[in-house]
Structure 1
Amino acid sequence: MQTIMLSVEEHLKKYIGDPKIIEKLISYLDRHENVGEEIFPYLGEKEEELYFPNDTLPKETFLNRIPFYFHRPQKNLGQLGELKHYLHGIIREDIYNERASEYIEHLFVTLEKMHYHHQLDVEQIFNYPIKQTGQACQTEFIFQWSHYLDLIDTLQPSEKMPKHLIVSYNDALEKSGLPPIIYPLKQLYDYEYISRVGQIFRVSGTFPCDDSGHPILRWIGLRVKNPERVWAQVNDRLQGDLYVQAGPSTAIWGLNCWGELEDGTDVWYPLHIGPQLMEFDNEELKRIRQRYGYTQKELADAIGASLRTYQKWEAGQTTPDSHNLLRLMNVLDIRDTKEITRFLDVEDVN
C-alpha cells in the first residue's frame, strides 16, 4: 500500500488545516514514537476510543489515518458521510460483535488502501456509499466497494465509482470467477413476500438491472418459469418493485424467504405455481389419511364414495372431482388445496 509521500507538516496542513492543532500535534509526534488515545483530548478534539482498535498506534499508522480522523463533512455541499458512521456500522451489527476490534482495524486498512492506492478522496469514500444506498453506516458496502476496486485493477479499465456498484461489482465478481451477490426479496407484510392483482405478481427489494432497465434475475433471490413478462420499477438506487405477469404455466419461487435449512443451505420457496403446473398429490392424500387413522373404506364411506373409486385416487389412477375434493378436505381438516397439491420443483426451471 502506498503511504503518505508529503512531509509530515504538509500532510497535516492538507488534512487538518488549523495551525494551532498542527503545532500541538507536531510537538506530540516529536516526543512519541507511538500515539495513544489521549491524542484527541490533547488536541482539543472529542475523544474517540473506536479510532484505536488497540491502545496505541505506531506514528506512521496514525499519520496515514489523519485524513479520516479529521474529516468533517461540508453539509452545504451535500456531504453527509464521516468516519463515525462506518465505525458504528460495525459495532451495531451482531455479526461483528465478537470481533469488533478486528473489523475496526480492517476498516481502517481498507480506507487507507482506497485513499492512498486507489486514489479516492476522503469525501468520495465517505459519501459514495450513502448516495448508492440512501443510508449511512453502510460499512459492508465499503468492504464490497474496496474489493471491487481490487478486482478491476486486474480487469479492463472500469469506473471507480460506477453508477450502480451492485451491478458493476457482480459483473467484476463473475469475470473473476467468483460467485455474485444474490439480492434477497424484501418482506412486504406479515411474513409475506409476494402480492397479487389479477395475474400480476409483485415483489419488493433491491434489484440489479442492466443498462436497459431489465432486472438481472440471476442476481436476484427470485426464480421464474414461463413468465409472460418480467419488469422492474426501481429508483436511482435500484430499490423498488419487480413485477411478473403470469400465465397458466408460470411458476415463481423466492430464495430463503422463511429461512435457510438447518445446515445453512438455501431453500427456494414456492410463491406461485400456475394451474398447468399443479396436480393432485395422491401420495400426500394417503399420508394424511394414515395420520388421522382412517382405513381406505372408512374414508370412502365418510365422503360417500365407493371403495374402488377412492383406491384409484390414492393409486394416482384418477383424481377426485371438485365435489369429492371438498368432502375430502372437510373430513381430513385440509384447509388449503396446497396441502394435497404437487407442483413443479425449482430444479426444473430452465
Structure 2
Amino acid sequence: MEMEQLINQVVLQYFQNKGVQEKFLDYLNRHDVVSREIFSYLGKDYSNIGDSLLFPPIPKKVFLRRIPFYFYKPDISADRVGCLSQYINSFYINNRNEESYRDKIEVFYEALEKLLYDYKIPVSEIFEYPIIQSGRIEQADLLLQWVHYLELAQKYDIEDLIPQHFFISYNSLLEKEKLPPVIFDLKEMYIGEYVGRTKNIFRMEGTFPCDEKGRPIMRWIGVDVRNATRIWAEVNEKHKGYLFVEANPKTLIRGRNCWGPNDDGSDAWYELYAGPQLMEFDFEALKDIRKREGLTQQQIADWIGASLRTYQKWESGDTNPDCYYLLRLMNVLDIRQVSELTKIVDVD
C-alpha cells in the first residue's frame, strides 16, 4: 500500500473530526520521523496518549502501522480493560534497570504487529486475552509468549490461535520442542507462609495447570512432592486455586524459590514439610551453631546439665540427645525451630 493511501485510510478510520484530520495530515506532510509531540498537536483529547507511552521517535511508516494500538480505547462497559499503556507500563517496571529496555519495548511492538497483521487477531482481543488468561493486567511477557506459541502452532499445523487454556497449550508445544516449560510457583498465602495444614492435609495456593481429568500437572508446578498418599487440585477455569497433598510419615514437600532463588540466580528449593520418618538429628549443625554462638563444648554441657563426654557424642554423631536435652540445647543456643537441628534423609 502506498504511503498516501495508508495515511488516508488511517485518517478515515481513526479521526472523525475534520480539524483533527487536517492537523494529522499537516504533521505527517512535514515530518518523516514521528515523535510523541504529534499527540499533543492533535489536541487535548489525544495529548494524554503520548504522556502514557514510552514513545521514542520512529519512522512515519512504522507510526502508521502502530496507529491501531495507540488509539485503541477499551470498552469498560463490556469488562474490557486492556490497553497499550498498561502493557508499556509493565514493561518499563520490569526492565527499568536495564539499559536495553527500549529495545525490548521495540520487540514488544513488533509482537503486536505480528498478532494484528500476520495472524489477523483484533486489537481488542490482543490486549484482553493475556488478562483473561492470567487474571491480571499488564501482562507484557504473556503477550510475547503468545506470539511464540503462534509460531510453534504454525509449525505443528495447529489452528487454535486463541486457546482456552493458554499455558497448557503453550507448555505442550514447548515440550515438543524440547524447550523448558513455564513453571508456576506457589503464591504466598500469609506473610512468609506458603503452606497451610489441617491434620495431615497440606494446602498450597497458586496457579495449578491440570489435565483433562482435573489432575495437576506437577512437572509444570514449582512444588516437589515425594511419597504423598494423594495429590489433587481445586481450581477455577483459569486453573487458579489450591493444591492439596495428603501426607504420611515419609512425605516430603518442597517449594521452588519461595523465599528467593540462589545467589547465582538458580532455582532454590525450600523444605515446606518433611514427615517424621524422614528427619534425623543433624550433629554437624549442632557443632556449627555452637561455634556461631562462641561457646565451648564444656560450657554447653555445664549449662544443660550433661557430662562433657555425653555432649561430645552428640557432636560426633555417635548418639542423639533425647527430647529433654534437645529442649535445653535449643534454649542455650537460641534455636527457634527444631528444623535447625535436623536434616532430611535421602528420598527416592
Deviation per residue, 1:17-69 (Å, 9 max, x gap): 626355654455455433343333343342233657323x3222122112112
RMSD value, Cα: 3.0
- In the TM superposition, structure 1's runs of 4+ consecutive aligned residues that sit over 6 Å from their partners are 3-6
Query: Which structure 1 segments of 5+ residues have no match?
Result: none
2:222 corresponds to = 221
The normalised TM-score by structure 2 is 0.86
What is the rounded CA distance, in whole Å, between the counterparts of 1:267 and 1:120 in structure 2? Answer: 39
Q: 2:54, 2:88 within 8 Å by CA — same for their partners in 1?
A: no
8 Å CA contact 1:35–1:59 kept in 2: the answer is: yes
Superposed CA deviations along residues 225-282 of structure 1, whole A, max 9, x for unmatched, are 0111112222222222211111110001111112222222221111110011111223
Which range moved further: 253-262 or 94-103?
A: 94-103
1:281-303 superposed Cα distances (whole Å, 9 cap, x missing partner): 2333344445553336x655654
Question: What is the TM-score when the length of structure 1 is the normalising length?
Answer: 0.85
Q: Counterparts of 1:126-275 in structure 2 under 5 Å?
A: 126-275=127-276
Alignment CA distance shift 1:288-1:81 (3 Å): closer
Amino acid at match of 2:156: L
| Number of residue-to-residue matches in the alignment | 343
Call closer, same or farther: CA 1:64–1:4 in 2, change over 3 Å.
farther
Task: Give the Cα separation in 1 of the matches to 2:334 and 2:29.
Answer: 82
**1:89–1:139 Cα contact (<8 Å) kept:** yes
TM-superposed CA distance for 1:223, in Å, is: 0.6
Q: Please give the alpha-carbon distance, in whole angstroms, between the structure 2 residues aligned to 1:170 and 1:136.
A: 21
The answer on whether the counterparts of 1:185 and 1:203 sit within 8 Å (CA) in structure 2 is yes
- Decide which of 292, 295, 304 is 1:293's aligned counterpart: 295
* Partner SS, residue 247 of structure 1: coil
SS of alignment partner, residue 155 of structure 2: coil
**Which residue in 2 is equivalent to 1:324?**
325
Hey, what does 1:53 align to over in structure 2?
55
Change beyond 3 A, Cα 1:6–1:28: closer
CA distance in 1, matches of 2:46, 2:10: 18
- Going from structure 1 to structure 2, the CA distance change for 1:318 and 1:114 (only over 3 Å counts) comes to same
Return the letter of the residue paired with 1:342: K
CA 1:187–1:330 in 2, change beyond 3 Å: closer, same or farther? same
Aligned equivalent of 1:16: 14
Asked if 1:33 is matched to 2:32, the reply is yes
Unmatched 5+ stretches in structure 2:
none
Measured against aligned partners, the alpha-carbon deviations of 1:295-347 in whole angstroms (never above 9, x if no partner) come to: 36x65565455566555444434333333333443444433321221113xxx
The residue aligned with 2:278 is 277
Identity %: 46
- Within a 5 Å distance, the mapping from 1:303-318 to structure 2 comes to 303-305=304-306, 309-318=310-319
